[in-house]
Amino acid sequence: MKSHYRVVVIGGGVVGASVLYHLAKFGWSDVCLLERSVLTAGSSWHAAGGFHALNADPNMAALQAYTIDLLEEIQAESGQNIGLHMTGGLTMAGTPDRWEWLQSAYRVFQSIGIEDCRLVTPEEAVELNPIMSAEGLLGGMWADREGYLDTTGTVHAYAGAARKRGAAIFEHTKVEDLIQTRDGWQLVTDKGIVTCEHVVNAGGLWAKQLGRMAGIELPVSPLKHHYLISDTIPALEDLAFEVPMTVDLEGFTYLRQDQKGVLLGIYEIDHEHWAMDGAPWDYGMELFQEDTDRIERELTLGFERYPVLQEVGVKTWVNGAFTFSPDGNPLVGPVPGKPGYWCACAVMAGFLQGGGVGKTLAEWMIHGETEADAWPMDVARYGPYAQNRRYIRETTGQFYSRRFVMTYPNEQLPAGRPLKTAPAHDAMSAAGCQWGVSWDLEVPLYFAPAGFSETPSLKRSNAHDIVAAECRAIREAVGLIDITGFARYEVTGPNAEGWLDRMLASKLPAPSRARLAPMLSETGRLKGDLTVFNWGDGSWWIMGSYYLRAWHMRWFRDHLAEGVAIRDLGEEICGFALAGPRSRAVIGQIAETDISGLPFMGCMAADIGLIRTRIARMSVTGELGFEINCRYGDHAVLRRTLLEAGAGEGLRECGFNAMLSTRLEKSFGIWNAEFTQGYTPGMTGMDRWIDWDKPGFLGREAALAERDGNGPAQIQVTLEIDAADADASGFEPVWAEGQKVGFVTSGGYGHHIGKSLAMALIDRDRSDVGTPLSVHVVGAERPARVIAPSPYDPAGKAMRG
């Protein structure tokens, strides 16, 4: 073992081995992996080894598809047999909603390029898996590239391929401490000290301790997980093929063949955490005693779904631990505030996602950017609130127990909530506010009558008419919206203006003005759809999406210059927005400062009633509006002041659902839908805000190349859909004459214009207004057409009025 490496990966499971392999494959051979025991010790050795295509998050499904494609390549390159059994796979549904969701998921797969799937009837499913009972099933989805592998062989294949590319691996080498240095990290091991520029936490069950060594509290926890291996099943002895990997969503089980028996795995509702502070250092190849009482219900369902299990015994029980994050997705990427420290942990489906995780992290480390949008697994999607032990316990447990439980788009899950609330939260609740959550914050969805309860649904919910009334208030009178859930960053210092001019691709606003500002990476892809404010006193604000606070602060700090200070105001500033044609009349009654001359996109300090505020004349609803920012301590009084002033103007409290409906009517995009770090300005229409004459802004050369070249293959358009009782939401395929030409980025119902709307990325030659198309909405194909942007008030007269 050398004394210095460019990268040291800690952890010899499938994820650590994949990271090592991809680093070497992409050209960094001065890398090593340290494993405190032997490769696979931890979770990898006892994993069930199944892999399947389905994931409710399309980005994660694409990650899994990459991993599956990589398996044969790894086997060939390493010369290590990985025991690959490509049996195909079934995912079965037993309720009408689940069957609708599965049909919708099948169409989403088509959107993201997974073409080897098809829908099957229960009868077809039983032909594919003859030991399965079809009782209670409504349908399923078949995927060609599903199956299982030998877990130990696969880890050694990644490791062997990495060694062939120059990487080093050291087993029986325990990391005992991590010390940050000026040039990187010093690793204190039981075999001596090693230094490196980058260290990767791929510690699996020990990720928590490896984080704490560096002063990092990661939101991870191990949970116990059961599977059994049956004795030989006579029905399988004469079968000419292996039964496929099969997931019974209503039964909470997955099954694959194991020699002439089967492996049956269970995601039990009654979950059990273990070693929340990390596994003991001497743990590695042990298992827990099976707890059949805790899994009795799911076990019974499994034996009913596969009746042959009732006729044979159990050969082996496996009850082992896997590490989970709050939402079940991996924690990957650079840790904010810890340069050179990278995460590759909480990959609970390591053999399914590990290849994609390794590729993503290696690209990020080497190139500074990933090929695909890494947000769904970015460690910066969580903030300090997620370090709380109870939050981790509740959210990881909720995810585990709901692994095979259907979650509806309009369903609000309870774990880890409520955590942070705006000061007027209780008063708004008393007024009927129904809450959602963004990052750690409770955000208003809509205001309902006493006793109302929203029914979870894939289609339009029973809150549809309530949201319609709020939209009507915004369009015809005035709506009051809590905007605590907007992120705000203050930029100050002698070099603040120059730094902002480099970071943002737009022209900077003049004093007392605001401007929409795209932010780009070095390769010209989007890093933010922001609004920048010049308050005229030497201070600037950047406003963006609340849940991106840690993500954006990491980006800002990574690019910070001398003479610039940036501060996240998320714990200090909140506020309310007025939106609607009567909003000027409301604010005019209580403004102690003359705001009559405040122009569209103007901003200023102003006294509103007794409260000192910073206001801006803008609205994401496309109406005349004002965003009023105040201190946290003034929030409740500001609300009461605005409600009293609006009593005679038809003012109605509104939530984010109405705001999202009205923004669709204006073709206003939002982050993580129309705008992501996987898209460019030309694709999304954000190029109209770029100041092309400005030299030196981040990403300028790449943006110019896009502008002056052939342009993007797909561009953003607005669609009108002839929907029935459901609306598009995102990733549904868009068709033209039977050919896939794009996909929906977001959708919903435009309550004012009375139409189902969607925004979509589609091929440029199908983007002309009036082009006939079709879109699958909850699995059903519906006619659609391209319409002109901003179907409501296309000239923008209302918001400029």
The token duo for 182 is 């000026």
Residue 54 is predicted with a pLDDT of 75
- In 493-539, beta strands by DSSP E: 513-520, 526-534
CA distance 541 to 570: 12
Among the listed residues 108, 106, 105, 103, the one whose alpha carbon sits nearest the alpha carbon of residue 138: 103
**Rounded to whole angstroms, how far apart are CA atoms 638 and 171?**
61
Report if residue 302 sits inside a domain.
yes
Using alpha carbons, list the distances in angstroms from residue 185 to 6, 9, 179, 215: 10, 12, 6, 13
**Total Cβ atoms within 10 A of residue 674:** 23
Q: Write out the residue range of the structural domain in which residue 734 sits.
A: 713-800
Taking residue 708's Cβ as centre, other Cβ atoms within 10 Å add up to 9
Q: At a CB cut-off of 8 Å and minimum separation 6, what does 797 contact?
A: none
In a domain, 148, yes or no: yes
Residues 90, 91, 93, 98: what is their CA dihedral angle, to the nearest 10 degrees?
-150
Is residue 688, in this structure, part of any structural domain at all?
Answer: no
% of the chain exceeding 90 in pLDDT: 96
The residue whose two tokens read 């609708």 is 100
Q: Which two tokens stand for residue 464?
A: 């549809």
Confidence of residue 57 (pLDDT cuts 50, 70, 90): confident
pLDDT at 55 over 80: no
Rounded-to-integer distance, Cα 649 and Cα 670, Å: 30
Mean of pLDDT values over 49-71: 87
153 vs 75: CA distance, rounded Å: 9
Last residue of a domain, one of 325, 347, 365: 365
**Residue 190 burial class via C-beta count within 10 angstroms: exposed 0-12, middle 13-18, buried 19 and up:** exposed
Enter the tokens of residue 93. Answer: 């549904």
Retrieve residue 356's tokens.
């994609």
pLDDT average, residue stretch 535-544: 98
Amino acid at 131: I
Whether residue 169 is predicted with pLDDT greater than 90 in this model: the reply is: yes
Residue type, 559: H
For the chain, give the longest Cα–Cα distance: 87
Task: Report residue 491's pLDDT band, with 50, 70 and 90 as the boundaries.
Answer: very high
DSSP state of 508: P
Mean pLDDT, the chain, rounded, equals 97
- For residue 566, is pLDDT > 80? yes
Classify residue 251: in a domain, yes or no: yes
Residue 482 and residue 576 in contact, taking contact as beta carbons nearer than 8 Å? yes
At residue 771 the predicted structure's pLDDT band, cuts being 50, 70 and 90, is very high
For 334, the 3-state DSSP assignment is strand
Can you tell me the distance from the alpha carbon of 612 to that of 367, in angstroms, rounded to the nearest whole number?
Answer: 46
Alpha carbon distance 473, 496 (integer Å):
40
d(CA 558, CA 79): 41
Residue 320 sits in a domain whose CATH number is 3.50.50.60
pLDDT band with cut points at 50, 70 and 90 for residue 363: very high
Angstrom distance (rounded) from CA 233 to CA 400: 30
Give residue 63's pLDDT.
86
**Left (φ > 0), alpha (ψ -120 to 50) or beta: where does 785 sit?**
beta
User: Which amino acid type is present at position 535?
Assistant: W
Q: How far is CA 171 from the centre of its chain?
A: 34
User: In DSSP terms, which residues pair with 542 in a beta bridge?
Assistant: 489, 532
Q: Could you read off the pLDDT of 723-732 as tens digits, one per residue?
A: 999 999 999 9
* DSSP classification of residue 206: G
pLDDT given for residue 688 in this prediction: 97
Cβ-based burial of 126 (10 A; exposed 0-12, middle 13-18, buried ≥19):
middle
Q: Is residue 55 a part of any domain in this protein?
A: yes
d(CA 549, CA 381): 8
* CATH code (residue 764): 2.40.30.110
Three-state SS for 201?
strand
Cβ atoms of 759 and 669 within 8 Å: the answer is: yes
Query: What is the tens place of the pLDDT at every residue in 229-279?
Result: 999 999 999 899 999 999 999 999 999 999 999 999 999 999 999 999 999
Q: What share of the chain is helix, strand, coil (3-state, %, to 5)?
A: 30, 30, 40
541 domain residue, yes or no: no
Main-chain dihedrals φ then ψ at residue 578, nearest 5 degrees: -105, 135
Q: Tell me the C-alpha to C-alpha distance, in Å, between residue 438 and each of 214, 387, 756.
A: 28, 16, 25
Contact 246, 124 (CB under 8 A): no
Split at pLDDT 50, 70, 90, the class of 53 is: confident
Q: CA angle, 47 as apex, 46 and 52 as ends, to 5°?
A: 160
Q: Tokens representing 295?
A: 């899994």
pLDDT at position 114, please? 85
Confidence of residue 305 (pLDDT cuts 50, 70, 90): very high
Mean pLDDT of 508-534: 98
In tens, the pLDDT along 23-45 reads 999 999 999 999 999 999 999 99
Sheet holding 478-482, edge to edge: 603-608, 611-616, 625-631, 573-579, 478-482, 651-654
pLDDT band for position 426 (cuts 50, 70, 90): very high
Query: Which residue in this structure is represented by tokens 């743990």?
Result: 283
Amino acid 62: pLDDT: 85
**HEC readout, 32-73:** EEECCCCCCCCCHHHCCCEECCCCCCHHHHHHHHHHHHHHHH
What value does the mean pLDDT take over residues 647-670?
98
CA gap 224, 364 in Å, rounded: 32
Domain count, the chain: 2
Residue 282 covered by a domain: yes
pLDDT reported for residue 59: 81
Distant-in-sequence contacts of 560-563, Cβ < 8 A, 24+ apart = 560/499, 561/495, 561/498, 561/499, 561/502, 562/495, 563/493, 563/494, 563/495, 563/496, 563/499
| The pLDDT of residue 801 | 87
**Which two structure tokens, joined as six digits, stand for 227?**
């599977």
Tokens 């500001």, located at residue = 638
The domain boundary, picked from 345, 365, 385, lies at: 365
Within-domain flag for 664: no
- The Cα angle at residue 715 between residues 543 and 687, in degrees rounded to 5: 45
How confident is residue 58, by pLDDT bands cut at 50, 70 and 90? confident
Residue 166 phi, psi (nearest 5): 105, -5
Q: Which residue has the higher pLDDT, 111 or 255?
A: 255
